Amino acid sequence: MEPLSNKRKVVDNKPLNFWERAYLPAIVHGLAITMKHFFRKPVTIAYPEEKREFSENFRGMHSLKRDENGKERCTACGLCALSCPAEAITMTAAERQPGEEHLYREEKYAAVYEINMLRCIFCGLCEEACPKEAIYLDGDIVPSDYLRKDFIYGKDKLVESPLNP
């Protein structure tokens, strides 16, 4: 059979010589190797205090975006929920009332928008599906919690903070 990779090592089954069979030199060699590691810098990242650098296309927690005037972009069309393979998104649409024009960009908006972070697989299909560029997975790692109900994130956690509060 053709080798699948070019990594190849010839194994020799020579019988061990005396020093190899004596075992103690091998132990001393092993101890030297571990001692080298003893003085090496630890690779640990102390997570909540330090964070690993993420790649450009890292997909973290979702955020619902606002437009340049600070109005919510989401129109509750439901395409994100439809595209979600994990069925993690639910929403309730509502009609914009007169006087709310500074809050919502279009006549329809999401009154309730919930993502279950335990169901979400962070595939990013919701941001692909969104026609209004309203949802992006550009946040941090979703923090841990004690209760399942606390992982259902509503608009209070998802919507971007206002531009000029």
Partner 1 sequence: MELADIIVKFILVVIIFAISLVIAMYSTYAERKIAAFFQDRIGPNRAGPWGLLQPLADGGKMFLKEEIIPTNASSFLFIVGPSLAIMTACIGSAVIPWGQKLTIGSHVIDLQVADINVGILYVFGVVSLGVYGVMIGGWASNNKYSLLGAVRAASQNISYEISMGLSIIALLLITGTLSLRQIAEQQHSWHWNVLSQPVGFILFLICAFAETNRTPFDLPECETELVGGYHTEYSSMKLGFYLFAEYINMFISSAVMVTLYWGAYNYPFMDWMAAHIGTNGAVILGVVLMFAKIFLFIFFFMWVRWTIPRFRYDQLMDLGWKILIPIAIANIVVTGIVITLINR
Minimum distance between the CB of residue 145 and partner 1, rounded to whole angstroms? 19
Q: Which CB atom, from 17 or from 34, has the smaller least distance to partner 1?
A: 34
Cβ atoms of residues 91 and 123 within 8 Å: no
Minimum distance between the CB of residue 125 and partner 1, rounded to whole angstroms? 37
Minimum distance between the CB of residue 81 and partner 1, rounded to whole angstroms? 40
Verify binding: residue 18, partner 1, rule CB under 8 A: no
What secondary structure does DSSP assign to the chain, as a single string? ---SSS-------PPP-HHHHH-HHHHHHHHHHHHHHHTSPP----TTTS-PPPPTT---S-EE-B-TTS-B------HHHHH-TT--EEEEEEEPPTT-TTTBSSSEEEEEEEEETTT-----HHHHH-TTS-EE--S-PPPP-S-GGGGEE-HHHHBPPPS--
Q: By CB under 8 A, what part of segment 22-81 binds partner 1? A: 24, 27, 30-31, 33-35, 37-38, 40-44, 46
Total chain residues near partner 1 (CB under 8 A): 15
Minimum distance between the CB of residue 31 and partner 1, rounded to whole angstroms? 5
Minimum distance between the CB of residue 29 and partner 1, rounded to whole angstroms? 10
State how far the Cα of 80 lies from the Cα of 43, in Å rounded to an integer: 39
Q: Which CB atom, from 11 or from 33, has the smaller least distance to partner 1?
A: 33
Q: Which CB atom, from 45 or from 118, has the smaller least distance to partner 1?
A: 45
Q: Which CB atom, from 44 or from 57, has the smaller least distance to partner 1?
A: 44
Q: Which two tokens stand for residue 51?
A: 């964070």
Q: Which CB atom, from 49 or from 156, has the smaller least distance to partner 1?
A: 49
Cβ atoms of residues 47 and 144 within 8 Å: no
Binding region for partner 1 (CB under 8 A): 24, 27, 30-31, 33-35, 37-38, 40-44, 46
